[in-house]
Structure 1
């Protein structure tokens, strides 16, 4: 019997577990299963894609951490492939880059190692040069790793498809991230950018995952695994739904109302730093762009109130509302298990949209937002950026940190007959968890998430464009866990003592113009 790679089969209402192998042109193929609306779709696909080239767009902190992770976990992936690094700053002194050898100039702005296996192009990739640059540099069987900032996601995805390259990034972005008009937060929102991206890439068959690092990324996998564990505590009768991966039904029936992606970063610096430079434990540019975007969050179906000045016109389309102020000015309370109560800024993040949409069931969906209490260095960065968004910045190295930790996880609220119950699943890293002295534990977390997603895409190379929630959560956590420090799941109701699951009760320092709340008018929600 012969099969086509594009041949598809459908099986309805049957529990079937089949996997078989056959040879096509001497290569092993297998049958793969995917769930879709109660059906199981069988699609013949390559068992694993062989990567012949790695193309890194940006070689900042996350890229350097990821190169260290790849060297440790899968050196064969790097040793057997060509490496292309596109980065405008000088990276020759980077320990993670030195593993490839000494670079010599071969043309203006182009450097290669002696064996010609690694190529560094010293250029800022932008809207004017990306096509010429990548069309000439990306070869067959490539994996594009986009860990840059202010690089247009949609254009890079479409070019990756032209090259049949696998693709990953950790954030959606525009070319030259626009300065937000707070009266038009929706037009500048990540949610709208994602919708436009999905429309333009729906034809893509090559596996490409967007926004998969720590958060967004691993936190979505953690939330799904937590739901599986919480079922056994609150309602074991829902176990069959877990087996069928019907997480949206489980979330609604358990009474999940709120997911706070709660992060406290209290890492401290070991020495006095250059006062002319601002620092952060992860991308300073990315943090500035997010912090000064319009505050946006997913308003769950249980929420009855919102700020009078909030834009709720697009809630049916993207589940989100938009405040007429930067996210740096909205602070809410949350919780993490090591120090307890935290006060975090509501930073716009993609998981607030993708996770809520994944768990949506008809007119039900939870509130989801990222609640971030940055390190002292991060707070100073934000205050300086209020005056000048183009201040000199860099990320903090491990050998510049003398203490503290970074805790990030999902704080999940459930309305139960006995009252609110909360559960936490997350990762707590300390400086000792850094994969190298050149980076830090926060960047190592992100790199662990990237490695997990990369591994999944190589094993499943024909899934099309997917969000983090579509990667097997157990696979992801298993691959990433060596780089997540201490990972735990626990009920925290007694310690947390939640009194509300609505944002109007959790906001503690709203912007001075955002003090009046109004009841949300009744609506008929359409499918998202």
Structure 2
């Protein structure tokens, strides 16, 4: 811990200008990193990381900076030795153990006791089964997304509806009936899902202030939903444009990305899905409704890999992104639903519009040309990045508000200065990931929760110094701009916020 505290002091001196710049955009002065580190939280139990890729490697130094815990009470289980040198630098033991259906209970029981914390930063391990085990064992839990077992994303015997994030979320939430109370299990809390749900609340608060609408100090779920309805929000995009640049070219038969390569192509082959708003006039031609669960979302009978949508961010401007399946598309839409009895009277359309870095775009196009067969090699961009920012936020749209984007503009150089073993993308994930861990430690008996259900002020206060510029920006953009000039299109000019106008055909 002594080394970490010294390292934090250096960070503060090198990033004072970056933090001051953040203040101008966000308003409130974030707690200096040096002061944050001096207020490290005590945790008297053990922490076990399962998985140690981009999330684990980037989250570990951040967690140890803010947590007063001897490193011999932190351990890592990983399917391979990737990241072993990172773990060694922090004095944390990494053991190569691959968890599967047959062994995970025994492996976890040997290493975790009531009050301990399981940090699930893995791929291809069932989140639902880990959550259930932790509830029974009295162990706290977090993940960045709800994952199935290996191979289930690509199992042709399973219908698209059941290979969706909608289905995975419903399976996780169904555990609440089996475990109505118990240790905190924080579902889906990275950047997105996770941070973006808190961005939505902050954006709604700012739009309410502009409209002269009072926002209560303590808002309940129904209050947020009523506020979104009153503001006339019809569509919410998680709008992300990753502009980070590598000095090393992508090779043929190589998948390159700024975060997990397997994680990206598994998401890309899931059905394109979205929360479905009450203002929508008709389903897309290949749109399918679910016959189970909360009924807040739909899916398209095709993968996100082949689905493009129009979007906008303040710095990069308009772009075409991929409609990648993500849990926040469903949890935000569900959370902001207004009901009168059994009838749904309001819900916004919500989905993820993602333009990855340029080399990841090339990788995705090659992956599509291979009909979803992964490339032979993959490479995560971190130390070789030479510049650029990741612009991640939420775009709230409607006839009353126009387009309003709120989010993080974080460049790679600032990210490296703020926390080692991160690029801009991973730090936008890991800051809220660690914030949620600390929230769970402060609320150890909250049961199974989603990002929308926890205090967004807590998460934003912690994450703010690590997110570069937090920007709120109005834009005059709509998905109709520049349309039908050279070629005739079927668009709904009377209502720009219909989903059919966003689709790229």
Q: Counterpart in 1 of 2:353?
A: 371
Q: Counterpart in 2 of 1:69?
A: 62
Asked if 1:485 is matched to 2:468, the reply is: yes
Give the distance between the partners of 1:83 and 1:180, measured in 2 at CA.
35
What are the residue-to-residue correspondences of 1:103-502 with 2, within 5 Å? 118-176=92-150, 177-179=152-154, 181=156, 184-202=159-177, 203=179, 204-236=181-213, 238-240=214-216, 246-272=223-249, 275=252, 277-314=254-291, 317-362=294-339, 363=344, 364-386=346-368, 387=370, 389-416=373-400, 421-432=402-413, 433-434=415-416, 435-436=418-419, 438-493=421-476, 500-502=496-498
Q: Counterpart in 2 of 1:115?
A: none
Query: Secondary structure of the equivalent of 1:307?
Result: coil
How far has the Cα of 1:228 moved from its partner? 1.1
Q: Counterpart in 1 of 2:31?
A: none
How far has the Cα of 1:240 moved from its partner? 4.4
Cα–Cα, structure 1 residues 394 and 453, in superposed 2: closer, same or farther, change >3 Å?
farther
More strand by share: 1
More helix by share: 2
How far has the Cα of 1:162 moved from its partner? 2.2
Give the distance between the partners of 2:82 and 2:448, measured in 1 at CA.
31
1:398–1:439 Cα contact (<8 Å) kept: yes
Is the deviation greater in 197-206 or in 466-475? 197-206
Is the deviation greater in 315-324 or in 170-179? 315-324
Is the deviation greater in 386-395 or in 317-326? 386-395
Deviations 1:99-134 (A, max 9, x none): 10xxxxxxxxxxxxxxxxx44321221212111111
Cα–Cα, structure 1 residues 324 and 67, in superposed 2: closer, same or farther, change >3 Å?
same
Give the distance between the partners of 1:137 and 1:301, measured in 2 at CA.
48
Deviations 1:355-407 (A, max 9, x none): 11111111211000000011122123223333263434445343201122111
Cα–Cα, structure 1 residues 72 and 393, in superposed 2: closer, same or farther, change >3 Å?
farther
Give the distance between the partners of 2:138 and 2:398, measured in 1 at CA.
43
2:189–2:436 Cα contact (<8 Å) kept: yes
Gaps of 5+ in 2: 1-40, 482-494
Cα–Cα, structure 1 residues 437 and 70, in superposed 2: closer, same or farther, change >3 Å?
closer
How far has the Cα of 1:308 moved from its partner? 2.3
Cα–Cα, structure 1 residues 235 and 183, in superposed 2: closer, same or farther, change >3 Å?
farther
1:397–1:437 Cα contact (<8 Å) kept: no
Cα–Cα, structure 1 residues 485 and 180, in superposed 2: closer, same or farther, change >3 Å?
farther
| Residue correspondences, number | 439
Cα–Cα, structure 1 residues 54 and 242, in superposed 2: closer, same or farther, change >3 Å?
closer
Give the distance between the partners of 2:154 and 2:329, measured in 1 at CA.
21
Give the distance between the partners of 2:500 and 2:285, measured in 1 at CA.
11
